Amino acid sequence: MTITLNVSGMTCGHCEASVKGALKDLDGVQNVDVNLATGKVDVQYEEGKVTEAEMKEAVEEQGYDVA
């Protein structure tokens, strides 16, 4: 399964790394692809192991907003 999160506030490579790292730390997340220019974050995950709400929370904990 793949979901796209719309994340705002990422401005640089460090931001990209924080968001990517936080999502990858979630059990069930298999791959994360961040587009810094558009704020679109594609998350590949195993259904039933992780929810969209948990992903959203992980990103927000890093200080970014998820639409």
Which of 2, 8, 14, 24 binds its own copies (CB under 8 A)? It is: 14
By the rule CB under 8 A, 11 interacts with its own copies: yes
By the rule CB under 8 A, 26 interacts with its own copies: no
Which of 15, 26, 28, 54 binds its own copies (CB under 8 A)? It is: 15
DSSP state, residue 60: H
8 phi, psi to nearest 5 deg = -115, 150
d(CA 55, CA 24): 9
Q: Which of residues 30-49 bind its own copies (CB under 8 A)?
A: none
Three-state DSSP class for residue 37: coil
